[in-house]
Amino acid sequence: MAIVAPSLLAADFLHLSNECTLVNNSQADWLHLDVMDGRFVPNISFGLPVIEQVSAIVTKVCDVHLMIEEPEKYAEAFKKAGADHLTVHFEVCRNLHRNIQQIKELGMKAGVAINPHTPVAALQDILHEVDIVLVMSVNPGFGGQKFIPHTLVKIQELRKMINERNLQVYIEVDGGVTLANAKQITDAGADVLVAGNTVFKSADPVATIAALKSL
C-alpha cells in the first residue's frame, strides 16, 4: 500500500486548521510541506512560522520539501519548527553529502530531490546516505501541473538501483499525481505519492486520500 502525503500547497490557506484536521482524520501518512524561495524556483510559498503552527496540530509525519538555495542555513530552524523529514534539492547543493549529514545529525530523516532533467544516476554516490529520494514529476515551483510521463522511467531506474544495493530508501513522487496515474507510479516502484490538487481540490479529500492508498 502506498504512503500518501497530501501537499499543503493546494490547501485553503484561510482555513488551514480545518485542512490540518481533515488530514489528521484521514488515512494520510505524511503531510507534505513545500517551501519555495523565489530563487531556486520562480515562486514563493510559505515558511517557518506556518510550518511551526501546522506541525503543532498535525498528527502525521511532517515531510518538508525545501525548494530553496543554501538549505544548510535553515535546517536547524526547520527541525525546531517541527519537520520530521527534510528534503533538499540535488541541483542547489554544492556539498550535498555535508547537507545530508547535517539533517541526520539534527535528528530528521534526510531526503534528496531531483528535478525532471536530473538523471537518477547522479545519485549513485549519495543513495546509501539518504532516507528518501524525491522524484519531481513536474518542474518545481507550482502545484496543479501535468505529470511528466518520462518520470516513470526514472522511478523504474531508481527502484532498480535501490533494490540491487539492498538499500532502504523511500521513493517519493511529487507533482501531477492523480487517481488516474497513481497506480502506474506505484507500479513503477514509488513508495510515496505526494498529491496537492488531487486531494485538496476534490469534493471529498478524505475519500480521495483513501482511494490513493488503496490503488
Ligand X SMILES: O=C(CO)[C@H](O)[C@H](O)COP(=O)(O)O
Give the residues lining the site for ligand X (CB under 6 A): 7, 9-10, 32, 34, 65, 67, 138, 140-145, 174-177, 194-198
Show the cell assigned to 156: 523504474
The residue with its CB nearest to ligand X is 196
DSSP 143: S
Q: Please identify, using beta-carbon distances, which residue of 67 and 155 lies nearer to ligand X.
A: 67
CB 194 to ligand X: min, Å? 5
Indicate which residue of 34, 37, 63, 131 is catalytic.
34
The C-alpha atoms of residue 149 and residue 175 are separated, in whole angstroms, by: 11
CA-based torsion, 134, 138, 141, 144: positive or negative: negative
- Active site (annotated) includes residue 34: yes
Indicate which residue of 29, 37, 131, 174 is catalytic.
174
CB 186 to ligand X: min, Å? 15
The C-alpha atoms of residue 61 and residue 120 are separated, in whole angstroms, by: 26
In which region does residue 38 sit, left (phi positive, over 0), alpha (psi from -120 to 50) or beta (all else)? Answer: left
- Active site (annotated) includes residue 29: no
- Residue 99, classified by CB atoms within 10 Å of its CB into exposed (0-12), middle (13-18) or buried (19+), is buried
The C-alpha atoms of residue 159 and residue 139 are separated, in whole angstroms, by: 21
Q: Please identify, using beta-carbon distances, which residue of 65 and 85 lies nearer to ligand X.
A: 65
In which region does residue 166 sit, left (phi positive, over 0), alpha (psi from -120 to 50) or beta (all else)? Answer: left
CB 214 to ligand X: min, Å? 18
DSSP 43-74: -B---HHHHHHHHHH--SEEEEEEE-SSGGGT
**Interhelix angle 205-214/16-24, nearest 10 degrees:** 40
Q: Please identify, using beta-carbon distances, which residue of 148 and 167 lies nearer to ligand X.
A: 148
Q: Please identify, using beta-carbon distances, which residue of 9 and 162 lies nearer to ligand X.
A: 9
Active site residues: 34, 174
